[in-house]
Amino acid sequence: MENFTFYSPTCFVFGRDTELQAGSLIRRFGGSRVLIHYGGSSAVKSGLLDRVKSALEKEGVSFQLLGGVQPNPRSGLVEKGIELCRREQIDFILAVGGGSVIDSAKAIAAGTLYDGDFWDFYTGKRVEKALPVGTVLTIAAAGSEGSPDSVITKEDGMFKRGASGDALRPRFSILNPALTQTLPPFQTAAGITDIMAHLYERYLTNSKEVEVTDRLIEALLLTMIHEGPRVIADPNNYDARANIMWAGMMAHNNSCGVGRSQDWNSHNIEHELSAMYDCAHGAGLAVTLPAVFTYVMEHDVMRFAKAAVRVWGCQMDFDHPEVTAREGIEKMRRFFISIGMPANFTELGAKEEDIPALVKALCWGDGRQGSISGFVTLDEKDCEKIYRMML
């Protein structure tokens, strides 16, 4: 296991009706002038936004509203939010929504306290300072409720990039599984896929002797395989939603990624798809993961065979571990399809003729030097082959 520092000070408040504590939590974490940031329409329609507003009013916390965050959140609204926070002297941002809303809130939080262009943080500058952020999560997926990350798409060039820094970890996150019961099945499934991808991106490691985190990841993957189909069959199953919601947080606050190298090539490859086609991130991952895993499998066949046996219940073929490894990848692919995810480029809405542009943006966009690196290093030719495997 490698050396690490793990600092994750988020207060998680989990369970039914916990959104009613939003006002008192903001007070506890020092907020008095709040920006409530939310998405398109779901939080308004469900009445959640009204409940949150009343919770703040009850505590005498003043607030401004900024809605309209779209999935794959854009830089334009972040700039608007920064301006608003400075003008209104906002001291706390409350994100009510999914990963897109939370990421947009984090970008505004960092940008408000920074003199330069907030995009600097999305091209490598670490976030050291940000306004405090709290969240009321409405979809189990991105894990932004516990992560130090934010992913934003710059409208000029449609670059989708991430920023990072412990200052971006939310002060508190309210996780009420019942709030996710209004999700359309497709979004629920995209969330499940994203959570599993976060686990796999950590499982694909070059670090040795990392049994504790290997086992945590395997346990969380097994949970998703068990609970995923239950929630697709019965969207109102609170217990399945509760297990998925907590697994989604644990998958990405890095408690199971510490002390080991990680991959993230699949996420980088997918981010170009959701940047170009505005598809759901999880749906893009369902198509990306099987292709990437098949392509890089030979780098460490035993790691894929181990996942196949421990997670997917395959029998180990000791003479031909690559057969076991492939069987595990195929079972994963079929699982994604079984919960309603797309199987290929066409179903995702992607086009073969765009592959050169995707590869260029992936390998050269925003300062990259012709390749991406993680579990293995992938150059332009590798990335082109991987996109073609998704056809």
Pick from 135, 147, 188, 213 the residue near ligand NZQ by CB under 6 A: 147
Binding track, positions 169-198, relative to Zn ion; x by CB under 5 A: -------------------------x----
Sign of CA dihedral 280, 10, 45, 60: negative
d(CA 292, CA 69): 30
Q: Which stretch binds ligand NZQ (CB under 6 A): 27-35, 133-141, 227-235, 374-382?
A: 133-141
Closest CB 99 distance from Zn ion, rounded Å: 8
Note whether 74 binds ligand NZQ by CB under 6 A: no
Q: What is the amino acid identity at position 359?
A: V
Q: Which residues pair with 66 in a beta bridge?
A: 37
d(CA 314, CA 375): 23
Pick from 154, 202, 260, 267 the residue near ligand NZQ by CB under 6 A: 267
Q: Which residues pair with 92 in a beta bridge?
A: 34
Note whether 42 binds ligand NZQ by CB under 6 A: yes
Binding track, positions 183-222, relative to ligand NZQ; x by CB under 6 A: x---x---x--x----------------------------
The vertex-243 CA angle with 240 and 248, nearest 5°, equals 120
Note whether 103 binds ligand NZQ by CB under 6 A: yes
Burial tier of 381 (Cβ tally within 10 Å: 0-12, 13-18, 19+) = exposed
Note whether 71 binds ligand NZQ by CB under 6 A: yes
User: In the complex, which residue's CB is closest to Zn ion?
Assistant: 194
Note whether 164 binds ligand NZQ by CB under 6 A: no
Note whether 272 binds Zn ion by CB under 5 A: no
DSSP code per residue over 153-185: EETTTTEEEEEE-GGGS-SEEEE-GGGGGGS-H
Note whether 257 binds ligand NZQ by CB under 6 A: no
> Largest alpha-carbon pair distance within the chain?
68
The Cα-based distances of 185 to 48, 95, 180, 191, 229 in angstroms read 20, 23, 10, 10, 11
Q: Which stretch binds ligand NZQ (CB under 6 A): 79-87, 95-103, 120-128, 331-339?
A: 95-103
Q: Please say which residue, 194 or 327, places its beta carbon nearer to Zn ion.
A: 194
Note whether 39 binds ligand NZQ by CB under 6 A: yes
d(CA 309, CA 101): 37
Residues that bind ligand NZQ (CB under 6 A): 39-43, 71-72, 97-101, 103, 138-139, 141-144, 147, 149-151, 179-180, 182-183, 187, 191, 194, 252, 267, 281-282
